[in-house]
Amino acid sequence: MTPDVRDRADRPARLESRNGAGGGTIPESAWDRALHLIGRADEVALACHVTPDGDALGSMLAVAFVLRSMGKRVVASFGDRIFAVPRLLRFLPGQEMLVPPEEFPAAPELLITFDSSTFERLGLLSDNTARAREVIVIDHHPSNAGFGTLALIDATAAATAMLAEQLIYRLGGGLDRDIATCLYAGLVTDTGSFRHSSTTPAVHQMAARLVATGLRTDEIARELWDRSPFGLLKVLAAALERVTLEEGPTGGMVWTYITRVDRAAYGLPYAELEGIIDIVRRTDEAEVAVVLKEDDQGAWQVSTRSKGAVDVGAACAALGGGGHHNAAGYTSHAGVEETMAALRRELGKA
């Protein structure tokens, strides 16, 4: 019996039932250490990965609410050069707790990171993280090797939000509608609306606890997926105009790209492009889907998806990024053709 399996059997029944059937891979000793570090801190600094998604920002804000209610000073941020919450996530409560990276403590006593698989994914806050005395890393990326001083990493969790929920209970906190809305945003984002294979019974059990607080699943779904500015249709048209289906490593590969110029014509922010990969990846003839998105700095943010036969996470990790087996990404500073050539090479190995 491994220590964490034995420990799980000793957990209070209340927590066990809340965890659902999924269990977890984080040892009790790591949770205990986290509670100790948080307990003795007056101020807790929170950081999530750059260009935050629902899981990164939602998990962070949920924990921020609870730490604040415990009487801690809480400061939360993400290290984007242009600091703005993506329009898709502006419905999340708790944003008054966010500060721009330049107002983030230079050398926090205690820092907690959310959904960030590497140190680099913290962007401008990676220096602050390097100078922090204690760094608790809460994450579910299999590629996370565990930077920081304490790892709360569970690659079997469908979302960092699942680990954030556990932390909240262990801190003695509970769910209210605002906290649940933040956690739900993470859960629903990372499971692709409960469609991905990561959608275990534990995911649905957690969703039930969240929905029971009275949150509006319909409104959250509309904010996340069912609205966009008119310009998105025009940019999507340009992306689909040049979409390519080619022979991939295992089955087909479908790919396209979106430039800064495409977006500029309609004043469309980069973050609005997030859903395009979900349209491209539908393609029956393709096992792998790729969308290259040029950000405001001129770098290419590469989104990749697999239907299962190819490990895009491994390919993206080899190219300096990371992610999961079926959904991963990285940043490329080369041109479109060069970027695709390098990606084809890595996918051939994956």
Least separation in angstroms between residue 327's CB and ligand AMP is: 4
Length reported for the chain = 350
198 binds ligand AMP (CB under 6 A): no
Least separation in angstroms between residue 200's CB and Mn ion is: 15
CB-facing half-sphere around the CA of 3: CA atoms within 13 A: 5
Q: 């390919």: which residue's tokens?
A: 315
Burial of 87 from C-beta contacts in 10 A (0-12 / 13-18 / 19+): middle
| Per-position x/- string for 311-330, each x denoting binding to ligand AMP as judged by CB under 6 A, each - no binding | ----------xxxx--xxxx
Burial of 27 from C-beta contacts in 10 A (0-12 / 13-18 / 19+): middle
Give the residues lining the site for Mn ion (CB under 5 A): 53, 55-56, 115, 160, 190
Give how far Cα 301 sits from Cα of 294, 321, 323, Å.
6, 10, 13
Q: CB under 5 to 8 A by kind: which of Mn ion, ligand AMP, none does 330 bind?
A: ligand AMP
Name which of 193, 217, 211, 200 is nearest 275 in CA terms: 193
Name which of 155, 151, 175 is nearest 165 in CA terms: 175
Given the complex with ligand AMP, which of 44 and 288 has the nearer CB atom? 288
Least separation in angstroms between residue 78's CB and ligand AMP is: 13
Given the complex with ligand AMP, which of 89 and 277 has the nearer CB atom? 277
Quickly list DSSP for 316-340: HHHTT-EE-SSEEEEEE-S-HHHHH
Q: CB under 5 to 8 A by kind: which of ligand AMP, Mn ion, none does 56 bind?
A: Mn ion
Given the complex with ligand AMP, which of 141 and 263 has the nearer CB atom? 141
Q: Please count the residues of this chain forming the interface with ligand AMP, following the rule CB under 6 A.
A: 14
| Residue 122 to residue 115: CA distance in whole angstroms | 10
Q: CB under 5 to 8 A by kind: which of Mn ion, ligand AMP, none does 327 bind?
A: ligand AMP
Distance of CA 186 to the CA centre of its chain: 7
Report the residue closest to ligand AMP, judged by CB: 329
Given the complex with Mn ion, which of 154 and 223 has the nearer CB atom? 154
Q: CB under 5 to 8 A by kind: which of ligand AMP, Mn ion, none does 117 bind?
A: ligand AMP
Q: CB under 5 to 8 A by kind: which of Mn ion, ligand AMP, none does 344 bind?
A: none
Contacting ligand AMP (CB under 6 A), which of 18, 72, 121, 263? 121
The radius of gyration of the chain's CA atoms, rounded to the nearest angstrom, is 20
Quickly list DSSP for 30-62: HHHHHHHHHHH-SEEEEEE-SS--HHHHHHHHH
253-312 residues in contact with ligand AMP (CB under 6 A) are 277, 303
Given the complex with ligand AMP, which of 53 and 134 has the nearer CB atom? 53
| Per-position x/- string for 29-68, each x denoting binding to ligand AMP as judged by CB under 6 A, each - no binding | ----------------------------------------
Point out which residues bind ligand AMP (CB under 6 A).
117, 121, 141, 277, 303, 321-324, 327-331
